[in-house]
Structure 1
Amino acid sequence: MSPIDKSESCTVFRLQDSTGDGLMRVYPVFPGVSLLYNDFHLESCTSYFRPGTDMFCIDHCREGRLEWEMEDGRCQYMEAGDLQMSTRVDHAGMFRFPLRHYHGITVALCLEEAGAVLPGILAGFSVDVNALRDKFCSKGQLFIMRAGASIEHIFSELYSVPETIRDTFFKIKVLEMLLFLSTLEIPEGSRERPYFYKTQVEKVKSVMALITENPQHHYTLEQLSVEFDFPITAMKNCFKGVYGTSIYAYSKSYRMNAAAIKLRQTKESITTIAQQMGYDNASKFAAAFKSVMGMTPAEYRKSIV
């Protein structure tokens, strides 16, 4: 990751590797408090970040999925609509993006500096950021939960801020967020997030590779279970945990998007494209295409300018 642009109000970093790239825009909000906009289009990246001070970070995922491997071999996931809080103590390591993209916002607090400044920002504002860190990240563990309507509303407004009011708006929304989190009751059992072991994750990634490399073949769950020596229920649960959808829905969406590319870029007949996607019946292909793309193959081809 390297800086590509810097001004008084924003620093832009570019992340690049062989699988793609991404941008991170960093805005200072208060001393010790920054707002980061993350837009990544890649399969994986390695983080070398090790904080030199105590930190508390709040991450909101708007689109995509984020995977990281724990020290004990477990893999955990953050998906669209999730809120994560962490101290960044274990942030160095490999991160993967199963859907090849991730978009979200991070509120990063350097606790010593932020803790000294925030109480004097606004009369009556009494949020203790160290207590907030201990509430959600006791013993340094990370915390993930669904954002919920209230916190989702706060973040949704941060994704479309007019530049003319940006600096003031950032300050208001960060204070609102911290105040809301200070009063939030942690739902019972919310610290227990589904996880999968690396061996399981590697198998479902092989499943994904097989069905995308051979779109003309419609594999049954039984065939995939035997092929990868993976019990059906465990395979289905792990696949949805990694990719956020069922094997059937993922395979169907992939085929229809691959068909859409062919409709755009070639003059092959719809019947031929249907066969390439494993459909001998053109009407069934048209129905499947419409369910994913919102129009029939013929309508889609006509809509291309």
Structure 2
Amino acid sequence: MLYEYLSSQKHISWNSSLPGVKICQFHLQGCSQDKRLKLSVLSNTHHFEAFFCSGGQLIVESTSTCPVILQSQGIFLLSDESKLCSIQISQDLQGVLIAVNPSAAQSSLSSICHILGLKLDIHAIRKKITNQNGYAILTDIPWAKALFEDLRRLPPDHREGYCVFKTVELLYLFCANTSTAGVLSETSSNAYPSLSISQVRAYLESHLEEKHTIPSLCHRFSLSPTSLKTGFRRMYGQPLHRWLTQQRIHRACELLRQSNLPILTVAQAVGYDSASQFSVVFKRYCGMTPGQFKKMSDSGDPSLF
């Protein structure tokens, strides 16, 4: 869980002023690369976490659902008995993490609720989160947007306390079966990883010269093959391999028009090992060979522009 990982980071300090609750405000600056955390059930922990993400992103991988991305201005509730298998955290991740021990925190959090005229059963909430795959993600609703807008205005030394207060409110809403709780449940189990798909497209556009396979892309972006192929078709209207070929041929046309590079060099610049393989694909899409295209381009044939 996030608590275990952040506790191992020496530069991160924790606030334990509230019994049963540990709080830290952090920014993972200076990390050389993204981290993938393998999660396992720790029988002696018995806690859950609320993470308020103000920068960077998490990629959440479950054993039963498609990967889901939590990005800036999102909230992540995680039980120690979740069905998650890993969490990938970006090197610039930042926010506030609240780690709650239900037994130790019941009295202190209930006291806060008593002041507000509310009742809060921490054990019941933990059980409910566990029954819903053990985690929930809250993004893109007015409640969350207002929270992060308030958080942005607050002085840094007030943000931890504010997040504790909002955690209590969030847990109450989650336990009360309100519409907000419904959004939590729906987001955690059914959200489509559209951000990951757009990241795949951006990555391919800037790496046309490289070899790409479905398994390698799935590994890089923490997607299942079905999520990647189905998601790409839904977002961009065609299979990934067809879109990638079109992008390569489009880039090849630009190079042929704007440079004097040899055909083989152009082919390699867009991901083909040989000029012959490149020529076959190019002719299929453009109706002529790369050499013919280059000759017509040099002559200023307006049909190419």
TM-score, normalised relative to structure 2:
0.51
Going from structure 1 to structure 2, the CA distance change for 1:96 and 1:177 (only over 3 Å counts) comes to closer
Does 1:187 pair with 2:187?
Answer: no
1:236 is aligned to 232
In 2: Cα distance, 1:33 partner to 1:150 partner: 23
In 1: Cα distance, 2:103 partner to 2:227 partner: 49
Instruction: Check whether the contact 2:36–2:88 (CA below 8 A) recurs between aligned residues.
Output: yes
Task: Give the CA deviation at 1:111.
Answer: 0.6
Going from structure 1 to structure 2, the CA distance change for 1:93 and 1:37 (only over 3 Å counts) comes to farther
1:57 is aligned to 49
| Partner SS state of residue 131, structure 1 | helix
1:87 is aligned to 79
Moved more, 163-172 or 100-109: 163-172
Identity of aligned residues (%): 15
Does 1:152 pair with 2:145?
Answer: yes
Does 1:70 pair with 2:65?
Answer: no
Does 1:108 pair with 2:99?
Answer: yes
Superposed CA deviations along residues 62-103 of structure 1, whole A, max 9, x for unmatched, are: 33332243346x651223243332212358864324x65433
Task: Give the CA deviation at 1:150.
Answer: 1.8
Moved more, 128-137 or 155-164: 155-164
Instruction: Check whether the contact 2:19–2:105 (CA below 8 A) recurs between aligned residues.
Output: yes
Task: Give the CA deviation at 1:235.
Answer: 5.4
In 2: Cα distance, 1:90 partner to 1:208 partner: 32
Does 1:212 pair with 2:213?
Answer: no
| Partner SS state of residue 192, structure 1 | helix
Does 1:128 pair with 2:121?
Answer: yes
Task: Give the CA deviation at 1:24.
Answer: 4.6
TM-score, normalised relative to structure 1:
0.51
Q: Please tell me the residue identity of whatever aligns with 1:236.
A: F
Going from structure 1 to structure 2, the CA distance change for 1:167 and 1:62 (only over 3 Å counts) comes to closer
How well do the aligned residues superpose, as a CA RMSD in angstroms?
A: 5.1
Going from structure 1 to structure 2, the CA distance change for 1:12 and 1:85 (only over 3 Å counts) comes to closer
Task: Identify unmatched segments of 5+ residues in structure 1.
Answer: 1-10, 16-22, 217-223, 241-246, 252-270, 279-305
Structure whose alpha-carbon radius of gyration is higher: 2
Does 1:137 pair with 2:134?
Answer: no
In terms of fraction of residues, the more strand-rich structure is: 1
In 1: Cα distance, 2:131 partner to 2:227 partner: 36
Superposed CA deviations along residues 27-85 of structure 1, whole A, max 9, x for unmatched, are: 3252111233343353223356736232222223333332243346x651223243332
Going from structure 1 to structure 2, the CA distance change for 1:90 and 1:127 (only over 3 Å counts) comes to closer
| Partner SS state of residue 145, structure 2 | helix
Superposed CA deviations along residues 250-280 of structure 1, whole A, max 9, x for unmatched, are: x9xxxxxxxxxxxxxxxxxxx99xxxx99xx
| Partner SS state of residue 119, structure 1 | helix
Q: Please tell me the residue identity of whatever aligns with 2:75.
A: L
Task: Give the CA deviation at 1:148.
Answer: 1.8
Task: Identify unmatched segments of 5+ residues in structure 2.
Answer: 1-5, 211-216, 218-224, 237-242, 248-257, 260-268, 271-305
Going from structure 1 to structure 2, the CA distance change for 1:104 and 1:237 (only over 3 Å counts) comes to farther
Paired residues, number:
218
| Partner SS state of residue 145, structure 1 | strand
2:299 is aligned to none
Once the two structures are superposed, the pairs formed by residues 294-305 of structure 1 within 5 Å of their partners are none
In 2: Cα distance, 1:231 partner to 1:152 partner: 28
Does 1:34 pair with 2:31?
Answer: no
Going from structure 1 to structure 2, the CA distance change for 1:232 and 1:179 (only over 3 Å counts) comes to closer
